[in-house]
Amino acid sequence: MGKKPAFTLIELLVVIAIIALLMAVLLPSLQRAREQAKAAICLSHLRQWGTTVALFLEDKEGRLPRRGLATGDDRIADYSFLRGLCFGAGTDPNAPRRYNPVRTDKIACCPMATRAAEGHGSFTVHHGEEIYVAGTTGTTFTAWEMTIPPPTFRMSYGLNDNLFNWMYDVPPQGRPSPYTYVFTSRGQGNVPLLLDASTPTCSLWSEKEPPPAQDRPDSTGQVCMNRHNGTINVLFLDSSVRRLGLKGLWILKWRRDFNTSGPWTKAGGVKPEDWPKWMRGLKDY
Collect contacts of 100-105 with beta carbons under 8 A, ≥24 apart. 100/55, 102/48, 102/51, 102/52, 102/55, 103/48, 104/48, 104/52
**CA–CA separation, 46 and 38 (whole Å):** 12
Tell me how far CA of residue 23 lies from CA of 26, 30, 31, 57, 222, in angstroms.
Answer: 5, 10, 12, 50, 36
* Residues whose CB falls within 8 Å of the CB of residue 123, separated by 6 or more in sequence, listed in order: 133, 134, 135, 136, 137, 144, 199, 200
**CA–CA separation, 163 and 104 (whole Å):** 22
* Residues whose CB falls within 8 Å of the CB of residue 267, separated by 6 or more in sequence, listed in order: 260, 261
Is residue 223 in a domain?
Answer: yes
**CA–CA separation, 33 and 29 (whole Å):** 6
Is residue 12 in a domain?
Answer: no
Is residue 285 in a domain?
Answer: no
Is residue 280 in a domain?
Answer: no
Q: Which domain holds residue 209?
A: 32-275
| Proportion of the chain in helix, strand, coil states, percent, rounded to 5 | 30, 20, 50
Strand pairing category for 153-155 and 201-202: unpaired
The DSSP 8-state label assigned to residue 82 in this structure reads: I
Q: Global pTM?
A: 0.82
Q: How far is CA 241 from the centre of its chain?
A: 12
Q: Which tens digits make up the pLDDT trace of 199-215?
A: 988 999 999 999 988 77
pLDDT for position 89: 41
pLDDT below 70 — which residues of the chain?
1-7, 29-30, 68-78, 80-105, 127-128, 172-174, 217-219
pLDDT for position 167: 77
Strand pairing category for 201-202 and 157-160: parallel
pLDDT for position 238: 93
* Residues whose CB falls within 8 Å of the CB of residue 135, separated by 6 or more in sequence, listed in order: 122, 123, 144, 145, 146, 147, 148, 153, 200
Total domains in the fold of the chain: 1
Is residue 203 in a domain?
Answer: yes
Q: In terms of Cα–Cα distance, which of 137, 157, 132, 143 is closest to 80?
A: 132
Q: Where are the alpha helices (DSSP H) in 129-270?
A: none
Tell me how far CA of residue 35 lies from CA of 63, 158, 177, 227, 253, in angstroms.
Answer: 36, 21, 42, 9, 28
- 3-class SS letters over 138-172: CECCEEEEEEECCCCEEECEEEEHHHHCHHHHCCC
| Contact criterion met (CB below 8 Å) for 175 and 132 | no
Is residue 157 in a domain?
Answer: yes
Q: Which tens digits make up the pLDDT trace of 237-264?
A: 999 999 999 999 999 999 988 999 999 9
pLDDT for position 226: 92
Strand ranges (E), 52-183: 63-65, 98-99, 102-103, 122-127, 130-136, 144-148, 153-155, 157-160, 179-181
Is residue 142 in a domain?
Answer: yes
Is residue 216 in a domain?
Answer: yes
**CA–CA separation, 180 and 183 (whole Å):** 9
